Amino acid sequence: MSPNISKHFEQFKIRASEVDLNGKATLPALCSLFQEVAGNHALMLNFDISQLHEQNLTWVLHRMDIKISRFPDWRETITIETWPAAGDALRAYRDYRILDENGTQIGCCLSYWMMMNLKTRRPTRMPKEVLELRLDEIEHVLPLKKDRPRPIKQTDVQKNFSVRRADLDMNKHVNNSKYLEWMLENLPEKTLTTINRVDIIFAKETYQDENIQAKVAFIEEATSKHHLINEKGETIALAEISPH
């Protein structure tokens, strides 16, 4: 492991564009901040997306397991702490902690990543120099998961979306925060600030002008299961969202 590897911290003041009707930071906004700090840290470690593009490689987010104790308020200053964690040749992990102004943890996330070849659009093994840039002695913020959400068998609510150019990121596919936005549109407004746990898997890339079905099934104790499907009937994302 490189001696230069360490945790990375960045502060953010929650902006009006990042809050909902209740003045609380939205889940997609927090996920965008996770991406920001991860990208900045990767740049410091010389393996961010722009540097990988020179090798026809890119990072692909496969899964996020998120736990929120409290959503930050408008104009509240938070600190996001992150670090790359141990994995193997085909997957990498990155941990995040959200801290309030007193240094108290109000949220955390364990993300699962793969590296993709931009020409074949398929997963590829990670370069040796990337494998060595990990903090493997620090415990994950949440336990690693081996099981995964499954497609729902019933649909209680469904909404349809068409992918806009504004939904795309630098990999020219839909950004992961947009998947969450589509899923959350099926939930009642009053439940959004009670979300405690989100486990989401990104299964397939989505591109401009595709038509997407966002389906949800409500199960015990207000937990919801979500299923995003493209116009070919293929699963593009699955999630389970639970309240406090």
* CATH value at residue 175: 3.10.129.10
Q: Are 107 and 100 in contact (CB under 8 A)?
A: no
- Give domain status of residue 25, yes or no: yes
Whether residue 103 is found in the same domain as residue 196: no
Mark whether 105 and 187 lie in a shared domain.
no
Q: Considering the domain boundaries, does residue 17 fall inside one?
A: yes
Asked whether 236 and 179 are in contact (CB, 8 A), the reply is yes
Q: Write down the pTM of the prediction.
A: 0.90
Give the pLDDT score at 174: 94
Total structural domains within the chain: 2
**Helix 27-44 vs helix 176-184: crossing angle, to nearest 10:** 170
Q: What is the mean pLDDT of each run of 10 residues along the chain (244 residues)?
A: 71 97 95 94 80 81 96 98 80 93 98 88 78 72 91 94 93 91 94 93 95 94 92 96 92
Half-sphere exposure of 108 (CA within 13 A, CB side): 12
Question: What are the distances in angstroms from CA 88 to CA 13, 45, 120, 218?
Answer: 35, 18, 21, 35
Q: Quick one: 103 and 181 in the same domain?
A: no
> For 5-46, what is each residue's pLDDT tens digit?
778 999 999 999 999 999 999 999 999 999 999 989 988 887
Q: Give yes or no: residues 112 and 166 share one domain.
A: no
Spatial neighbors of 78 by CB under 8 A, at least 6 apart, are 11, 12, 14, 72, 98, 99, 100, 101, 106
pLDDT confidence of residue 57? 83
Range of the domain at 173: 157-243
Q: Do 116 and 213 share a domain, yes or no?
A: no
Does residue 122 form part of some domain? yes
* Angle in degrees, CA 232, 115, 235, rounded to 5: 20
pLDDT value of position 162: 97
Q: Is residue 147 part of a domain?
A: no
The residue among 131, 146, 181 that closes a domain is 131
The distance from CA 38 to its chain's CA centroid, rounded to whole angstroms, is 11
